[in-house]
Amino acid sequence: MASDVREQAHGSVASQLHSSEEDRAFDMTTSEKVVELLNQAALISTEEKLIVLKQVQELIINKDPSLLDNFLDEIIAFQTDKSIEVRKFVIGFIEEACKRDCELLLRLIANLNMLMRDESVNVVKKAILTLSQLYKVALQWLVRTKSVSDMQEACWDMVTQLKEDVLALLDSDNDGVRTYAIKFTESLIITLSPRTPDSDTPKKQEGDISLDKIPKDHTYIRYDTLCDEGKLALEQLLKFMVHPAISSINLTAALGSLATLARQRPMFMSEVVQAYETLHANLPPTLAKSQVSSVRKNLKLHLVSVLKHPSSVDFQGQISTLLLDLGMSQSEISRCTPATVQPRKRLHHEPYVEGKRTKMVEDDDDKEEPAPVVTPKPSSSSGTQSSIDLTAEFLLPLLNPENVANLVLISMVYLPEVMPASFQATYTPVESAGTDAQIKHLARLMATQMTAAGLGPGLELCKARDEEVKEEDGGMGESSSKDPLIIRKLSAVSLGQAISVVGAQQAAYKSPVTEEAPQIKKLPEPILPTTQPKAPGASGRKKVFKLADVVQPFSEAQIEKLANMAIKRILQSEKAIAQSGMSHVRVKLLARLVTQFEGGKKNDLLQFILEDMRGRSELAFSLLFHEYNEYLGQQPSGSLDSYEHCLFTLLSGLQEKPEQRDGLFTKLVLEAPVITDSALEVIQRYCEDESRVYLGMSTLKELILKRPSRQYQYLNVLLNLSSHEKEKVRSTALSFIKRMYEKEHLKDCIEKFALTYMQFLVHPNPPSLLFGAGEDTEVAASWTEETVRQCLYLYLSLLPVNHCLVHELAAVYTEAIADIKRSVLRVIEQPIRGMGMSSPDLLLLVENCPKGAETLVTRCLHILTDKVPPSPELVERVRDLYHKRVPDVRFLIPVINGLEKNEVIQALPKLIKLNPIVVKEVFNRLLGTQHSEGSPSMSPLTPGELLIALHNIDSSKCDMKSIIKATNLCFGEKNVYTSEVLAVVMQQLMEQTPLPILLMRTVIQSLTMYPRLAGFVMNILARLIHKQVWKYPKVWEGFVKCCQRTKPQSYNVLLQLPPPQLASVFERCPEMREPLLQHVHAFTPHQVHSIQAHIPASVMAVLEANSRKPEPEPQPELHHPEIIEEREVCCDEAEVATDLFFCFVMYIRV
């Protein structure tokens, strides 16, 4: 059958094998199947071999154990397999097999022994693991058998031998093997020690054998031997732990093992805790930094797990000290401490804090009546323990400051060059330096070291075991005298922190409040249960000191008073402490203390700070930060009230102080963790103070820029200040805002604010907001210049920076009432000028000119062109506006100098019809006689051309009186219209046909202004005669008038007139005739002669004629009084009304 299978196996690949084997699984016996599988296993690869072998194991161990014996040898044969994994499997198989049938140990233990010496460490490790199981199995098996055979003896001997071998492997070269050996040792110690009621045994190991189950009268197994072996193993483990070059992995494993031991066998707790202590004080120097931290983590973890065990009660002192050193907080520690301390019937180990007395009594007990179950403690370890205690006791009184200082100085010499990693990682500043607890801790640390080095009185004492009682009597005396000391210290500490606070050294300052807590909580527990049972035994020789008997608790008021006084003393000791250079400690202390108290003390301290803010700023900051810390500590339910109060008081104090120039306010604001609303109000008040406005706002600005989370709130404060009624405050705020406006993220907010304020202008009444808080009731107030400005300050200062805002103004303007409009027009000059006429937005505004905003636009135009000639773009826009949308000629005025000549001439009729003041302005612009000096006149018209243009205005388009007034304006400008200019004008006018109506008026005017033009005028007159001036009635009239004024020069001209016209002259001015006649008669003969030639007889006839002849051309409406006479003309009423406003627009100068 087997050969069959083999044949088949030969021809098949593995996969086929599997399927075929499954096919036949039904009709094969288990035995056949095992054979087949084993045959396969011999031939296939390791991977599959393992699978197959596992199947075999399952079959013969679990399915049909009767087969186990049959196939044992076949499977064991694989122990020489090449593959490590297969060899490991064999070990696993041995374990399972032996657990199934202990008898097999006899056969298999030797194999295990062999595999234990395998060349592969992996196999060795597996063997160690298996041995830790089989050791228990073997022991149990032997204990069960009453009569032990030789075979069994040999087997057990081998097991023992193997055990020794594994223990020896603690010194193996291989780190991993050592780790397994440690775990083996752990389980060995557990097995070889008795389980006690307080053992913390895992459920699955409930049934495992341990020393307490071994009968003392067994034929072969010796209880005592095993017990000693267990102790020896523990010693080896402990020794292993203190090896200075232990690897971190081994250390971790050993730490865990010890914790397990302590929990499962509390009798070893003392050794374990001590080992932990020793390790903590002597971390191997070979560890790297991360390893140190890992080891410390483990140490902490295991200490906590040990601490949780109820039996740890006697070691709580040591454990808590260690845990504190490892960085655990007192509260965490007390959480892990077992809540109820069960009063233990027997104390096998002396408590830490308690004096020698208890222990001595206990030790005596141990010796006299050993517990039936519990093994007597190994004397060596007990000796070590007590010797450490003894040495510590011995050292304690010696550790006075002087000695310690000497020790430190001496040991300086031995310090290594480089700080070892272990020290660096474990070092924490000694928090409780100088306190009793710390001195005790130190004494114990030193005692540990000394005992390890074989020094110290404790060790000597233990060596002389029989003398111990006497020796310890001495120690007892020492301790009894010390007990009250401890308690007194405690009472002081628990009742008033003030006592140690004032006069004490640096150490006492550190943190009295936080340190007291642990002592109060920790110490009473070990003291009370141990003192009481002791009392009767102490035979009344010593009265037990109980704190409660001798002191009364203070009343609330007393406590309060004492605390107050203490704080006061600290406050007042300012100078003394400053001299000692410890002021930072004082500051910290005060801040901490006061933060924890309510009310009065806080105010006292704040008052104190404010008395000399500069000198005590450090205290102020410290207090503030503590308050904030307190708040954070109470998250999420904490309230900021206390912090707010503190900050508010400090800031207001600073704000109210008259002179404070060193930026303390700024510093406080900027360093405060949170600016509360009330603090912000103080800042605002600070900013409103004219003398400090700059500093205040710089602070505010810093806040805005550096505290982005609430920057809009801060910004709002600043924005509100921008409409402040105090000019200095306002302008400073504006300049700050302007700078901030450049920041992209603040831009929107600022802009919005400005626009909101401007929007107020459309309301019928100014909003109460403008009057500041508290005046809300006064709603009915009307707009004043001031309130309007208030709404615009910010906007106007932004305008030159952001031109597009101008459109908003236009929108508001159209809706606003007239009063506001006027104010607006008054205030925009500066910003509009700042924008300049090239601003695209301004041009756009001009182009669009919203309905109702015409005056605004005009005003803008005026402001822009006031000092500079208009740009072509602007002219273009205005021209468009004028032609296409609003044909109001007044738009053209500002840009008139930019227009074409003919455009001006076209517009002239309309222009001169405007209000005289406006007309004057127009002419000023045209004539370049503006107020501005130096700007080159770019007028499209020369003065002469202008005057001519005026003369040529079609009288149908414009009434004469306006034209006259316009020309009068021209004549008013004597500097421009010089005699030369006028001469040219007259010349040109005279050459026109038909003659302009106003020609003669201008001539007369010119003559009046410049009498020396008389000759030229005569010339003109003469030429007019040629042009038959009498055909133009009005001109003719002027002509006559002119002649009349210019007599006698005009006589010659008159004489040139044709007789009918001359007659007409005389008709108008009869008084002229006589002088003219005389003039003719007065001619010298020579003159007569020449003149005669010129004076026709007809003329003479007219001259001499006395009779009145009918006029050739009667002219009924000859008199045009308006033309000739310069009367004040009264304009149309309506026109005046519209124009007045316009004049206002042009002439306001802010």
Q: Which of 231, 280, 302, 359 binds other proteins (CB under 8 A)?
A: 302
Report d(CA 941, CA 966) in Å as an integer: 15
The residue (of 297 and 957) whose beta carbon lies closer to other proteins is 297
Three-class secondary structure of residue 929 per DSSP: coil
The answer to whether 1089 contacts other proteins (rule: CB under 8 A) is no
Total count of residues recorded for the chain: 1150
What is the CB neighbour count within 10 angstroms for residue 793? 21
**Considering only CA atoms, which of 752, 812, 807 is closest in space to residue 788?**
812
Binding piece for other proteins, criterion CB under 8 A, among 294-302, 547-555, 608-616, 1114-1122: 294-302
The answer to whether 14 contacts other proteins (rule: CB under 8 A) is no
- Residue 937 per-residue DSSP state: P
The residue (of 289 and 344) whose beta carbon lies closer to other proteins is 289
The answer to whether 294 contacts other proteins (rule: CB under 8 A) is yes
Instruction: List, in order, residues 6 or more apart from 443 with CB less than 8 Å away.
Output: 392, 393, 395, 396, 399
Instruction: List, in order, residues 6 or more apart from 799 with CB less than 8 Å away.
Output: 805, 806, 809, 831, 832, 834, 835
The answer to whether 121 contacts other proteins (rule: CB under 8 A) is yes
- Residue 192 per-residue DSSP state: T
Binding piece for other proteins, criterion CB under 8 A, among 178-186, 975-983, 984-992, 1055-1063: 178-186
Contacts 24+ apart (CB under 8 A), 96-99: 96/57, 96/61, 97/61, 97/68, 97/72, 98/134, 98/137, 99/133, 99/137
**Considering only CA atoms, which of 709, 798, 714 is closest in space to residue 756?**
798
The answer to whether 176 contacts other proteins (rule: CB under 8 A) is yes
The answer to whether 167 contacts other proteins (rule: CB under 8 A) is no
By CB under 8 A, the count of residues binding other proteins is 42
Binding piece for other proteins, criterion CB under 8 A, among 182-190, 601-609, 916-924, 950-958: 182-190
Binding piece for other proteins, criterion CB under 8 A, among 169-177, 580-588, 597-605, 783-791: 169-177
Per the CB < 8 A criterion, the answer to whether 330 and 517 are in contact is: yes
Joined tokens for residue 856 = 């605004």
Which residue do the tokens 């599988």 mark?
Answer: 37
The residue (of 50 and 695) whose beta carbon lies closer to other proteins is 50
The answer to whether 210 contacts other proteins (rule: CB under 8 A) is no
Report d(CA 351, CA 1028) in Å as an integer: 148
The answer to whether 236 contacts other proteins (rule: CB under 8 A) is no
The answer to whether 638 contacts other proteins (rule: CB under 8 A) is no
CB of 335 to other proteins, least distance (A): 14
The answer to whether 179 contacts other proteins (rule: CB under 8 A) is yes
The residue (of 306 and 806) whose beta carbon lies closer to other proteins is 306
The answer to whether 257 contacts other proteins (rule: CB under 8 A) is yes
Binding piece for other proteins, criterion CB under 8 A, among 25-33, 201-209, 276-284, 744-752: 201-209
Q: Which of 202, 285, 474, 887 binds other proteins (CB under 8 A)?
A: 202
Binding piece for other proteins, criterion CB under 8 A, among 68-76, 200-208, 499-507, 1108-1116: 200-208
Joined tokens for residue 13 = 């690949």
Which residue do the tokens 């100088």 mark?
Answer: 434
The answer to whether 93 contacts other proteins (rule: CB under 8 A) is no
Joined tokens for residue 688 = 């409103």
CB of 155 to other proteins, least distance (A): 23
CA triplet 219, 224, 226: central angle to 5 degrees?
Answer: 85
The residue (of 41 and 700) whose beta carbon lies closer to other proteins is 41
Rg, Å, the chain Cα set = 60
CB of 648 to other proteins, least distance (A): 27
The residue (of 263 and 440) whose beta carbon lies closer to other proteins is 263
Q: Which of 40, 248, 448, 939 binds other proteins (CB under 8 A)?
A: 248
Q: Which of 152, 298, 711, 1002 binds other proteins (CB under 8 A)?
A: 298
Joined tokens for residue 256 = 């865990």
CB of 290 to other proteins, least distance (A): 4
The answer to whether 58 contacts other proteins (rule: CB under 8 A) is no
User: Phi-psi bin for 772: left (phi > 0), alpha (psi -120 to 50), beta?
Assistant: left
Per the CB < 8 A criterion, the answer to whether 776 and 768 are in contact is: yes
Q: Which of 39, 199, 291, 1006 binds other proteins (CB under 8 A)?
A: 291
Per the CB < 8 A criterion, the answer to whether 125 and 180 are in contact is: yes
The answer to whether 46 contacts other proteins (rule: CB under 8 A) is yes
The answer to whether 61 contacts other proteins (rule: CB under 8 A) is no
The answer to whether 305 contacts other proteins (rule: CB under 8 A) is yes
Per the CB < 8 A criterion, the answer to whether 952 and 998 are in contact is: no
CA triplet 867, 868, 871: central angle to 5 degrees?
Answer: 150
The answer to whether 289 contacts other proteins (rule: CB under 8 A) is yes
The answer to whether 586 contacts other proteins (rule: CB under 8 A) is no
DSSP H or E stretch at residue 644? helix 641-656
Report d(CA 554, CA 874) in Å as an integer: 90
CB of 85 to other proteins, least distance (A): 4
Q: Which of 107, 136, 183, 1034 binds other proteins (CB under 8 A)?
A: 183
The answer to whether 937 contacts other proteins (rule: CB under 8 A) is no
Burial class from Cβ neighbours inside 10 Å (0-12, 13-18, 19+) for residue 428 reads exposed
Per the CB < 8 A criterion, the answer to whether 259 and 298 are in contact is: no
Q: Which of 57, 79, 152, 260 binds other proteins (CB under 8 A)?
A: 260
The answer to whether 174 contacts other proteins (rule: CB under 8 A) is yes
Binding piece for other proteins, criterion CB under 8 A, among 245-253, 596-604, 948-956, 1002-1010: 245-253
Angstrom distances, CA of residue 414 to CA of 118, 407, 418, 1139:
46, 11, 12, 106
Residues 124-163, interacting with other proteins (CB under 8 A): 129, 132
The answer to whether 897 contacts other proteins (rule: CB under 8 A) is no
Report d(CA 584, CA 605) in Å as an integer: 16
Binding piece for other proteins, criterion CB under 8 A, among 247-255, 345-353, 715-723, 1043-1051: 247-255
Q: Which of 12, 122, 756, 1019 binds other proteins (CB under 8 A)?
A: 122
The residue (of 175 and 819) whose beta carbon lies closer to other proteins is 175
The residue (of 289 and 739) whose beta carbon lies closer to other proteins is 289
The answer to whether 263 contacts other proteins (rule: CB under 8 A) is no
Q: Which of 203, 541, 661, 1086 binds other proteins (CB under 8 A)?
A: 203
Q: Which of 7, 47, 778, 1132 binds other proteins (CB under 8 A)?
A: 47
Give the DSSP per-residue string, 869-884: PPPHHHHHHHHHIIII
Per the CB < 8 A criterion, the answer to whether 327 and 334 are in contact is: no
Q: With b meaning 16 or more CB within 10 Å and e meaning fewer, what string describes 465-485? A: eeebeebbeebbebbbebbee
What is the separation, in whole angstroms, between the first and last Cα of the chain?
127
Binding piece for other proteins, criterion CB under 8 A, among 298-306, 398-406, 485-493, 1082-1090: 298-306
Angstrom distances, CA of residue 615 to CA of 570, 609, 656, 672:
16, 8, 17, 18
Helical axes 30-43 vs 2-11, angle rounded to 10°: 40
The answer to whether 901 contacts other proteins (rule: CB under 8 A) is no
CB of 45 to other proteins, least distance (A): 8
CB of 449 to other proteins, least distance (A): 28
Binding piece for other proteins, criterion CB under 8 A, among 105-113, 252-260, 533-541, 750-758: 252-260
Binding site for other proteins (CB under 8 A): 46-47, 50, 83, 85, 121-122, 129, 132, 174-177, 179-180, 182-184, 186-187, 202-205, 248-249, 252-253, 256-257, 259-260, 289-291, 293-294, 297-298, 301-302, 305
